Structure 1
Amino acid sequence: MARKRKGRDISGWLVVDKPAGLTSTAVVNKVRWAMDAKKAGHAGTLDPEATGVLAVALGEATKTVPYITDALKAYVFTVTLGAATNTDDAEGEVIKTSDARPGDAEIKEALHQFVGDIMQVPPQFSAVKIDGERAYKRARDGEEMELAARPLFVESLVMLDRPDVDHVTLEMVCGKGGYVRSIARDLGEALGCFGHVRELRRVWSGPFEAEKGLSLEQIDEMAKTPDLDAYLLPLEVGLDDLPELRCTPEGAVRLGNGNPGMVFASDVEYGDEAWASFEGRPVAVGIYKSGELHPSRVFNLPD
Structure 2
Amino acid sequence: MARRRPATVHGTVIVDKPAGPTSHDVVTMLRRRFGERRIGHAGTLDPSATGVLVVGIGNATRLLRFATAGRKSYECEIVFGVETSTLDAAGETVATWSMSLRPADVADLARSFVGTILQLPPMVSAVRVGGRRLHEIARSGDAADRVPREVEVYRFEVEATGDPLVYRASVDCSAGTYVRTLGADLGSALGGGAHIRSLRRTRSGSFSLTDAGPPDQAELWPPAELVRDLLQIRLSGDEAAVARHGTHLADLRYTGSGPWALFDPEGRLVAVHELVDGRLRAMVLPI
TM-score normalized by the length of structure 2: 0.90
Q: Secondary structure in 2 aligned to 1:114?
A: coil
* In structure 1, distance between residues paired with 2:220 and 2:256: 34
Q: Is the 8 A contact 2:16 2:51 kept in 1?
A: yes
* In structure 2, distance between residues paired with 1:133 and 1:55: 25
> Structure 1 residues 260 and 212, CA, compared in 2 at 3 Å: closer, same or farther?
closer
Residue 128 (structure 2) pairs with residue 141 (structure 1) = no
Residue 43 (structure 2) pairs with residue 57 (structure 1) = no
Mean alpha-carbon deviation: is it higher for 75-84 or for 244-253? 244-253
> Structure 1 residues 209 and 270, CA, compared in 2 at 3 Å: closer, same or farther?
closer
Shift of residue 193, structure 1, vs aligned partner:
2.0
Q: Is the 8 A contact 2:103 2:160 kept in 1?
A: no
Q: Deviations over 1:140-190 (max 9, x none)?
A: 233343311001011111114424112111010011111111111111111
* In structure 2, distance between residues paired with 1:47 and 1:242: 28
Instruction: Give the AA of the match of 1:87.
Output: T
Shift of residue 208, structure 1, vs aligned partner:
1.5
Instruction: Give the AA of the match of 2:267.
Output: G
> Which residue of structure 2 aligns with residue 16 of structure 1?
15
Q: Is the 8 A contact 1:207 1:238 kept in 2?
A: no
* In structure 1, distance between residues paired with 2:65 and 2:168: 30
Q: Secondary structure in 1 aligned to 2:197?
A: strand
Q: Secondary structure in 2 aligned to 1:164?
A: coil
* Runs of 4 or more consecutive aligned structure 1 residues displaced over 4 Å after TM superposition: 262-265
Shift of residue 261, structure 1, vs aligned partner:
3.2
1:30-109 alignment runs, 5 A limit: 30-109=29-108
Shift of residue 139, structure 1, vs aligned partner:
1.3
> Which residue of structure 2 aligns with residue 225 of structure 1?
none
Shift of residue 7, structure 1, vs aligned partner:
5.0
Residue 259 (structure 2) pairs with residue 273 (structure 1) = yes
* In structure 1, distance between residues paired with 2:87 and 2:6: 40
Instruction: Give the AA of the match of 1:242.
Output: L
Uncovered stretches (5+) of structure 2, i.e. residues with no partner = none
* In structure 1, distance between residues paired with 2:162 and 2:11: 40
Uncovered stretches (5+) of structure 1, i.e. residues with no partner = 1-5, 223-227
Shift of residue 250, structure 1, vs aligned partner:
2.8
* In structure 1, distance between residues paired with 2:131 and 2:225: 34
Q: Is the 8 A contact 2:230 2:258 kept in 1?
A: no
> Which residue of structure 2 aligns with residue 297 of structure 1?
283
Mean alpha-carbon deviation: is it higher for 192-201 or for 136-145? 136-145
Identity %: 33
Shift of residue 126, structure 1, vs aligned partner:
1.3
* In structure 1, distance between residues paired with 2:211 and 2:196: 25
Q: Deviations over 1:96-116 (max 9, x none)?
A: 110113110111011122111
* In structure 2, distance between residues paired with 1:205 and 1:109: 26
Over the residues paired in the alignment, what is the CA RMSD in angstroms?
A: 2.1
